[in-house]
Structures are given as structure tokens and as C-alpha cells.
Structure 1
Amino acid sequence: MTIRTILPPKGRDYRLDLLRGFANWAIYLDHIPNNVVNWLTQRNYGFSDAADLFVFISGYTASFVYARIMLERGFVIGGTRLIRRAWQIYVAHIVLFVMYIAEIGYLAHRYADPNLANEFNVAGFMANPAETLYQGLILAFKPVNMDVLPLYILLMVAFPPVLWTMLRLPNLTLAASFLLYLAARHFGWNLAAFPTGSWYFNPFCWQFLFIFGGWFALGGSIEARPLIRSRALLWLGSTYLLFAFVMTMAGRFPEIAHGMPAWLYDAFNPNDKTNLALYRLVHFVVLAFFLNRFLPRDWRGLEWPIFRPLIKCGQQSLEVFCVGVFFAVGAHVVLVEISDAIGMQIVVSVVGIALLTAVAYYRSWSKKADKPKSPSLPAPGISR
């Protein structure tokens, strides 16, 4: 079957690193409740948030990297590389899972606050550790704030045949993904969680953002360029973003909500994140199109020193994400048990971001140090 996709140019796309770094910082800040600094994140100004960006870029990057491998070395090699990456993410998730539960258990004991275990959904582990650990290993049990990586793992494991199909039938693959999204919302499909309920990120719905990211990377952005560059999208998209801003503000401030019809407010509040509400999906698609239009791959601002920490955090995304989830618990406990003053909120936010950046720079240095240096050749002698 003919390959119908357009592979991105070789070389690192620093826009992805920048946006993924921003998503990691935003996720850390958003995981700290009652924190004035998280007003800097995108979730406060529209329907979508950093999780949408994270999943989209994950799909984009997976296609960007593994499509070339699949084309050059075959489906089996490309598919096994995807599975190997999913395994690496799984191992990181399990290590984080154990450390996360130990952290919460220690802090609950240290501050004599048993409510922490309930707040972070780990009380069941304290009561029945063996069963809860098993459910955690099969990704059914997820403490609070640990929902993204299981979604990522599942999408990566299922991605090899999808990527093979997308390389040949990109638009049909995207359409099938969208139909699955609609069906899951209509019929209420989701995976069961332990001990009750279902996955916070419904994989049958969120898979569309992942596939959309892959489609975007493999020529979709080029195919959609007339739409992306159109004046109609500029005006309609801007109007929709403004509408999303108003509705989100209404969810934050009752004074705004009281000034609009109840049916309108109730249609968008609360924001349906679990099933990726259509209005949320449209909001992110508009943002993705605008970023593609106004943030070119060769933008010189990507070389500005102010963006280097974000880019570095994006390049070491998995490590930074895991450390951010771990640190966010400590930051939350500091605000609850020690002080929730605005000054302390700023301190835990700034210190946390600084630590995430330090982890990213260390991990980058460590990877370079682990690479064997090519032996230097002796200088050529003079023939006699």
C-alpha cells in the first residue's frame, strides 16, 4: 500500500520541547491546590489545559520518531521500539507509584493528618496493600494526580498498528479515531478503575488527541494549511477562544455566572475533562492551529536564553513529569500544614520549578556523560 504521509524534516523541533516543557511546569503548578501561581497556567483561560497539550505532543513525537523507523527498518522494528518506549514509561510509572504512596504515608504520619491518605486516594493501599499494589501494576488503581502516565502507556502500546495504518491512510485513520471518540462519549465506554469508578482520562476519548497529534506530524498540518492560514479561522477561532475565556471565568467567579443564562453556564460548567468534551477538543484544535500559524519551526525566539530552561525540561520530559508529581505533594502539604500565605505559595512554586529545571539539566548532562567518547586517532606520521 502506498505511503501517503509527509515525514517532518530531520532534526529536533524545539517548538515541541518548548511546549512540552511548558506543559510539565503547568502540570506541576496545577497539582498544587489553592496556589495563586497556577493562575499563570492555561487551564484558567479556556476549556483545555496542559494535559491536552501533553497528550497531543506525545502523539506528535511518537509519530515523528517512530514513523521514520517503521519506514526505514520495517513494521516489526518500529513497533517493538514503540513497545520498548511504553515499557520505559511503565517502569517510571511504577517507581513513581511506590515513591508517591511512601511519600504520602510518611507525610500523613509526620503531621498526624490521616486525611492526606483519603485526599490523594491512597487510603485503600493502607488498608489492603497487596490487592491495591496488584491493581496499581495493571494500571487500574491510580492515586490522585497519577492518571496521565497510565493513559500514555496504553496509547503507546496500542499505537504500532495505528501508526502503520496512518502512514498509508492518514485521513481515514484520523476519521476512525474521531468515530471512536464519538462512540465512547455516546455509549459511555471507559475502563474500570479500582476500587470503584472509571479512568479519570477516558482512553477511548483521549486517544483522539494522541492520534490527532500523530496526524498533525505526518503531513496533517500541511494538508490543513489553507484552513490554518485562512482569515475565516483567524476570526472564528479568536472569537471561540474569547468565548471559552468568558465561560471559564464564569466557572471561577460567580459574579460572572450570575450575569448569563443558566442553560448556557451549565452547558460548559463543570468542564468535562474525563470524556474530553467536544467544546474542550475544539478549543485545543484551535490553539494547535494558531500555534502552527504563529510559531514557525525556525522562529529565532527559540534561541533566546529565557526559553532554555523550558526547552531543557521538554527534552527530559518523562523525568521532569515524574519529579513534578512527587514534588507537588510536598508543596501541597507545606501549604496545608505550615503556611498557605501568598508568599509561601510563590516560594513552593518557584522552588519546585527550579528543582524540575535542575533535574532536567542534570539528566541531560548525565546522558551525555554516559555516551562513550569516540577514540581519538593518533596524528598521522610523516612517511620517510
Structure 2
Amino acid sequence: MLNGRDPRIDFFRGLALIFIFWDHVPHNPLGQITLRNFGFSDAAEVFVFLAGFAAVLAYGKIMQRDGYWMACLKILRRTWVLYVVHIFLLAMLMGIVFFANSHVETRDLVEEMGLTHFITHPQQALTDELLLRFKPNLMDPLPLYIVLLAGLSVVLPWLVRQTEVVIGISMAVYLLAPWMGWNLRAIADGVWYFNPVTWQFLFVLGGAAAVHSLRPKPVEVRPLTRQPLFLGALVYVVVAGILTVSWRWPEVHDAWMPAVVSDLIYPISKTDLSPLRLLHFLALAYVTAKLLPGVGWTHNWLAQQTCRMGRYSLEVFCLGVLLAPLADMVNAMANDAFTMQIFTALVGAVVMALLAAWLEFNKRLNQPKPA
């Protein structure tokens, strides 16, 4: 049965939302402690994998209870909601960026945010927006999720019942896509920054992990130090972390990195979800799951706030997108830039947590009272 809710999923979704917000604010000091600074993958992989995990848990349960067509209908209804949210969010983001740009004299925030297309070709930009081809900076994850969730309406029954077959087909598409040049069209670079043809594999793996998590599994009695898979994953995470940190000092990196290895691993593409990024995330997720097998640590106050943000990930993500250019504007106008950057980063995270708390409060108000 696909049921239950793992608070660890909500926690890491909430943490990913905080990291995404911090990463989206230029020159933010707290952006130096996010996942992207210590490995090949970043919060985007966390977000997509857990989106697949949560979606299969939720809609798989509906499919088992009410049948496939009801689950499909609800998936498509949710996809439509995401599409409408994308349209309104882009309109609000443009308004905020234009406002911020009028208060920052040293930079062109409109160009930095990728909104020049709307200035130069407003009618075409509106059409491109409706077709998900016009995606300014900060907006890329939402169109990706729209496409992936729509695809789930087709593959859900097979993903639940024939998981290995779906993984195999998904992997084949993932491997072929960069070689064949498969991607969706967009303005600016011509293709989607997050290629849904490759990122679908991570989404499918998240759904497969959800199915696997509910199957009976033998209890592992060996300590972690005697589990080869855990040790291999841990070594890969550590090596990737060291290599990523070395990027801060190019002369150090170039001194110890053999040219043959450098030519082999670079560039590490985010658009096509490079195998090095994918393996890093999977290794990191496996190590984390092994080190945090229980849910007791999610019961403290701070973890609960983060879990709540993860439960309302769509609303909190949209708020983070809107807060990022405002924080950038305030930072650019401040005399003490470093202090203000820390302040706006923390305030933004608190505001996102407050939104989640407000949504939770409203949800409880709308619940029928027991007779």
C-alpha cells in the first residue's frame, strides 16, 4: 500500500527551498553554505527527486483506492494549477524586478533576470510565456515540475507495478537525450535550462524510491563501516566535496587535478543532469538515509518549521522567487552590504516559514470540527 507520510521528506524539501532562495540572491554569504558548494549536485536535485517521491506516494494511494482514472484526473488537475501559478508568478516577478531595477542604479536587474525579451518583444514574450518557452531566471524549476507531473499521469500505473521496467526505459531516454540533442525549445539559450528529457530520470527514481520504501525489507544488522555500498557512496560524496571546494582556488585545483581527469569529467552539465551530478545526489541521498534512519530528530522545533515549509512547497517556492529580487535590491542599496546580506537572507527564510505556518493555520480552520 502507498500510504503514510515521512517527515524526513518534508524536512529536506523545506531545506531545499531555503537553499534555493539563498542561492538565488547574488553575493549572499549564506549561499556559501548551501549544497552546491560541497558537491556536484545542489538543491535542484533534492527538489526534483523528492517531488517524484511525494507525487508517487500521494497519487499512488489515490490510484489504489479510487482507480487509475481518478488518480490521472487529479494529477492533471494539479498540473493545471501549477501552470496557472506559473503564469501569475511570472507576472508578479516581472513587476517586482521592474520596481527593484528603478531603485538600483549600478546594475541592470532586468537584464540579469532574463527579462529583456519581454522589453524588446512583449507580444511574443506573452505567447512564449503561455507555451513555457519564456522562463526568466529563478523560474526554471516550476515549468520543469509541470512537465514531469503531467508525464506522471501516463506512467504512474507502470511505475507502481513494474518499477524496474520504467526505470530502464527512463534511463535509456536519459542516456540518449544529450547524444541526440533532445530538449524543449525556449528563448535565450534556445533550450530549457533544466532539460526535462534528462531530469525525468531523477523524478522517476524519486517515484521508484517511494515504491521501494513501502516494500518489506530485511533488517540490516551489519554496522555501516561494514556495508560496502555505504562506504563507496560516502567516499564519492567526500571526494566530490573536496573537488568542489577546490574550485574556489583555481590555481590549487589545476595543480593537483590531472589534465586527463579534468578533460574526462568537465563540463559537469546541469542542463542535461550530468551523470556525475546524478551519482553525487544518489550517493548523498543514500548516505543521508543511512545516517538518519529514524524520524525522532525531526521532532525539535526548528526541524518542525522546516517540515512545515516542505508540506507547502509550492507556495513557499513561489514566495522565495518573489523575495529573491527584493532581497537583492535591498542589499544593493545598503551601506553595510555584508550585514544587510545576512539580514535579508535570514528574514527571507523566516518569512517563508511564516507563510507555511499561516497556511497550516488556515488548513486547520477549514477542517470540520468533531461533533
Q: Normalising TM by the smaller chain, what interval?
A: over 0.9
> How far 1:128 sits from its partner (Å)?
2.0
Question: Judging changes above 3 Å, is the alpha-carbon distance between structure 1 residues 224 and 209 closer, same or farther for their aligned structure 2 residues?
Answer: farther
CA 1:258–1:340: 2 relative to 1, 3 Å: farther
Structure 2 distance, partners of 1:372, 1:63, is 28
Deviation at 1:130, TM superposition (A): 1.9
Q: Quote the residue 2:76 is aligned against.
A: 83
* 2:174 paired with 1:181: yes
- Match for residue 21 of structure 2? 28
Match of 1:211 in 2: 204
CA distance in 2 between partners of 1:273 and 1:279 (Å): 10
Deviations 1:289-310 (A, max 9, x none): 22222222x4211111121111
Alignment of 1:95-174 (within 5 A): 95-112=88-105, 115-174=108-167
The yes-or-no answer on 1:353 pairing with 2:346 is no
TM-superposed CA distance for 1:361, in Å, is 0.6
Aligned-pair CA distance for 1:267: 4.0
Q: Which runs of 5+ in 1 are unaligned?
A: 1-6, 377-384
Asked if 2 retains the 8 angstrom alpha-carbon contact of 1:331 and 1:348, the reply is: yes
Query: Residue type of the partner of 2:308?
Result: K
Q: What is aligned with 1:303?
A: 299
Change in Cα spacing, 1:266 to 1:324, as seen in structure 2 (3 Å) is: farther
CA distance in 2, matches of 1:251, 1:305: 36
Q: Is the 8 A contact 1:247 1:268 kept in 2?
A: no
Q: Report the alpha carbon displacement of residue 340 of structure 1 after superposing the two structures with TM.
A: 6.3
Pick from 311, 315, 324 the counterpart of residue 311 of structure 2.
Answer: 315
C-alpha distance in 1 between matches for 2:8 and 2:184: 33
SS of equivalent residue, structure 2 residue 73: helix
Using the TM superposition, give the Cα deviation of residue 348 of structure 1 relative to its aligned residue in structure 2, in angstroms. Answer: 1.0
Alignment counterpart, residue 200 of structure 1, candidates 184, 193, 197 = 193
Quote how far apart the aligned CAs of 1:167 are: 2.0
Give yes or no for contact 1:247–1:265 (8 Å, CA) kept in 2. Answer: no
Is the CA contact 2:100–2:325 (under 8 Å) kept in the aligned structure 1?
no
Tell me, what secondary structure is at the counterpart of 1:258? helix
Q: Given the superposition, is the C-alpha separation of residues 342 and 228 from structure 1 closer, same or farther in structure 2, using an over 3 Å criterion?
A: farther
Q: Which residue identity does 1:117 align to in structure 2?
A: V
| Paired residues of 1:202 and 1:274 also in contact (CA < 8 A) | yes
Distance 1:244 1:21, change over 3 A: same
Structure-1 residue corresponding to 2:326: 330
Q: Larger C-alpha radius of gyration, 1 or 2?
A: 1
1-side partners of 2:41 and 2:166: how far apart?
Answer: 23
TM-fit CA distance, 1:344: 1.5
* Structure 2: unaligned runs, 5 residues or longer: none
Identify if the C-alpha distance between structure 1 residues 169 and 228 changes in structure 2 by more than 3 Å, giving closer, same or farther: farther
Instruction: Tell me how far 1:196 sits from its aligned partner.
Output: 4.5
Counterpart AA for 1:29: W
Q: Counterpart of 1:204 in 2: which secondary structure?
A: helix
Deviation for aligned residue 1:161: 1.8
Q: How far has the Cα of 1:179 moved from its partner?
A: 0.5
1:277 pairs with 274, 278, 291, which one? 274
Paired residue secondary structure (2:247): helix
| Cα offsets for 1:92-128 (capped at 9, x unmatched) | 2111110001111122223356721111010111222
Aligned length: 367
For residues 263 and 108 of structure 2, the distance between their equivalents in structure 1, rounded to whole angstroms, comes to 31
Residue deviations 1:315-343 (CA, integer Å, cap 9, x gap): 11111100001101111222233346321
Report SS of the residue matched to 1:275: coil
Counterpart residue number, 2:365:
369
The structure-2 alpha-carbon separation of the partners of 1:305 and 1:162, relative to structure 1 and needing over 3 Å to count, comes to same
Instruction: Letter of the 2:161 partner, please give it.
Output: R
**C-alpha separation in 2, matches of 1:327 and 1:160:** 32
Deviation string, structure 1 residues 240-289 (Cα, Å, up to 9, x no partner): 11111122112222242132223333544553111100011011111222
Q: Does the 8 Å CA contact 2:7/2:295 hold for their aligned counterparts?
A: no
Within 5 Å, give how 1:224-243 maps onto structure 2.
231-243=227-239
Equivalent residues of 2:134, 2:186 under 8 A apart: yes
Distance of aligned partners of 1:203 and 1:18 in 2 relative to their CA distance in 1, 3 Å threshold: same
1:228/1:289 contact within 8 Å kept = no
1:40 pairs with one of 4, 16, 33: 33
Percent identity among equivalent residues? 35
Q: Separation in 2 of the partners of 1:200 and 1:224?
A: 38
Contact 1:228 1:293 survives alignment (8 Å): no
Work out the CA distance in 1 between the residues paired with 2:217 and 2:165: 15
RMSD of the TM alignment (CA)? 2.1
Q: Could you state the TM-score of these two structures normalised by the residue count of structure 1?
A: 0.90
Aligned residue type for 1:16: I
